[in-house]
């Protein structure tokens, strides 16, 4: 996919990309938001001029899947300019290591062949190979070879490309795909390709991880809705998709403070296997969609008024965390210069700018030069480590979280 145009969105998609049903219920719309939020922008001018598109969420009453009905994949650029890694956070690294250790232990991933689809910079695949002495193949157009420094690097073959039928013959004992499915439409077509690749034998384990839209709806978390994410899953809609594509589900759970859904499956009869209580969610999803449709504007207005009040009091406000949440938060609110800059611990982002808003991304040390009065953390799960960093610099600032 290459960037080419303004991202107008084209014709509205009226059919569910997960189950194929018609009659999507549109419940949320935001216009002219950047079509990417993790691309590194080299200047404020480039960031402000970055292509924008419209987002319109449609809910499928049949399976619970939610999609951007105006999504235009042609505007996307997943390349080495894409900076998605979270591994500079101790809290995230703890989660990733514990997850990898569980997977290695539970599925005996020792001396095995592992394929990761959408491997990013390769950190999780490297971790799986280190922990179990495994061999790996990682596929991602944004992979950067210089970022892999590990004794097992020679055991992993990285391919800088998108996963497609071209690579369907590349499989393994364990197929992993984390935080990729939500970037794709149509989802069923993609999962069918994965299913064909793993074949009919029950030996291959498939593991996917995606954000949980049920939490987004419950918290009215408009900052978790952005153009890059065109597909939104609940536990039920994810399970229904996997079963319909011929997978037997082995495990379905939430993790990372219930922000992520984790599903493990193997080839088999979609009607076989355990049915999890977590997936009985259609009625709750429908209610959540209606509540979000009514209440998201109030939630956004509360934040606008809060930030205006802080500004009127002469208090300086910065954001901590320059990922997609920050871009969605700022562009949805349209608050512009109310926020001075954005802090991030990822050194590859320093001196770059947020697409669409033009905010500079600075290292935490910048806070010592001009201490803020208020720091807004874009994810509450990182509050403890942010508080420790801020305290270590001797900065006395109010710490808030968008939740």
Is pLDDT at 6 greater than 70 in this prediction? no
Is pLDDT at 273 greater than 80 in this prediction? no
pLDDT for 169:
85
Is pLDDT at 165 greater than 60 in this prediction? yes
Is pLDDT at 197 greater than 80 in this prediction? yes
Average confidence (pLDDT) over 75-99: 95
Is pLDDT at 194 greater than 90 in this prediction? yes
- At 273, list the tokens: 């296997």
What is the chain's mean pLDDT, rounded? 93
User: What pLDDT, in 10s, does the model give residues 288-303?
Assistant: 999 999 999 999 999 9
Is pLDDT at 5 greater than 50 in this prediction? no
pLDDT for 403:
75
> Which residues are CB-contacts of 258 (< 8 A; sequence separation ≥ 6)?
212, 215
DSSP per-residue letters across 77-111: --STTB----TT-HHHHHHHHHHHHHHHHHTT-SS
d(CA 115, CA 93): 21
Confidence of residue 347 (pLDDT cuts 50, 70, 90): very high
Confidence of residue 229 (pLDDT cuts 50, 70, 90): very high
pLDDT for 78:
92
Average confidence (pLDDT) over 181-197: 95
Is pLDDT at 1 greater than 70 in this prediction? no
pLDDT for 68:
97
- Domains in the chain: ranges and CATH: 314-401 (3.40.50.720)
Is pLDDT at 26 greater than 50 in this prediction? yes
- At 165, list the tokens: 């039928």
> Which residues are CB-contacts of 158 (< 8 A; sequence separation ≥ 6)?
119, 122, 137, 138, 139, 140, 143, 145, 148
The dihedral through the CA atoms of 304, 307, 311, 313 has a sign that is positive
Provide the pairing of β-strand 156-159 with 135-139: parallel
Confidence of residue 11 (pLDDT cuts 50, 70, 90): low
């Amino acid at each position: 996919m290459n960037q080419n145009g303004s991202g107008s969105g084209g014709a509205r998609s009226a059919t569910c990309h997960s189950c194929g049903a018609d009659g999507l219920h549109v419940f949320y719309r935001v216009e002219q938001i950047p079509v990417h939020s993790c691309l590194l922008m080299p200047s404020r001018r480039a960031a402000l001029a970055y292509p924008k598109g419209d987002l319109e969420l449609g809910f499928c009453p049949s399976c619970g899947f939610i999609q951007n009905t105006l999504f235009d994949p042609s505007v996307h650029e997943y390349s080495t300019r894409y900076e998605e890694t979270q591994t500079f956070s101790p809290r995230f690294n703890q989660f990733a290591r514990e997850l990898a250790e569980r997977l290695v232990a539970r599925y005996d991933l020792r001396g095995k062949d592992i394929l990761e689809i959408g491997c990013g910079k390769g950190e999780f695949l490297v971790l799986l190979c280190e922990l179990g002495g495994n061999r790996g193949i990682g596929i991602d157009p944004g992979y950067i070879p210089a970022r892999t420094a590990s004794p097992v690097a020679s055991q992993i073959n990285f391919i800088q490309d998108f996963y497609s039928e071209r690579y369907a013959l590349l499989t393994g004992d364990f197929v992993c795909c984390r935080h990729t499915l939500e970037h794709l439409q149509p989802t069923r077509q993609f999962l069918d390709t994965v299913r064909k690749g793993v074949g009919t034998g029950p030996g291959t384990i498939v593991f996917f991880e995606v954000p949980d839209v049920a939490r987004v709806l419950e918290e009215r978390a408009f900052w978790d809705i952005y153009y890059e994410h065109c597909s939104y899953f609940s536990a039920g809609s994810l399970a229904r998709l996997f079963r319909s594509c011929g997978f037997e589900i082995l495990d379905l759970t939430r993790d990372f403070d219930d922000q992520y859904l984790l599903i493990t499956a193997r080839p088999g009869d979609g009607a076989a296997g355990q049915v999890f209580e977590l997936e009985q969610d259609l009625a709750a999803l429908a209610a959540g969609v209606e509540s979000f449709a009514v209440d998201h504007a109030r939630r956004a207005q509360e934040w606008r008024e809060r930030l205006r009040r802080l500004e009127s009091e002469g208090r300086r406000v910065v954001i901590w965390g320059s990922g997609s949440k920050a871009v969605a938060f700022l562009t949805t609110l349209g608050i512009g210069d109310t926020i001075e800059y954005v802090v991030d611990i990822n050194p590859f982002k320093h001196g770059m700018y947020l697409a669409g808003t033009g905010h500079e991304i600075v290292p935490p040390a910048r806070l010592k030069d001009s201490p803020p009065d208020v720091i807004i953390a874009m994810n509450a799960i990182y509050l403890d480590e942010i508080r420790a960093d801020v305290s270590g610099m001797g900065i006395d600032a109010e710490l808030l979280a968008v939740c």
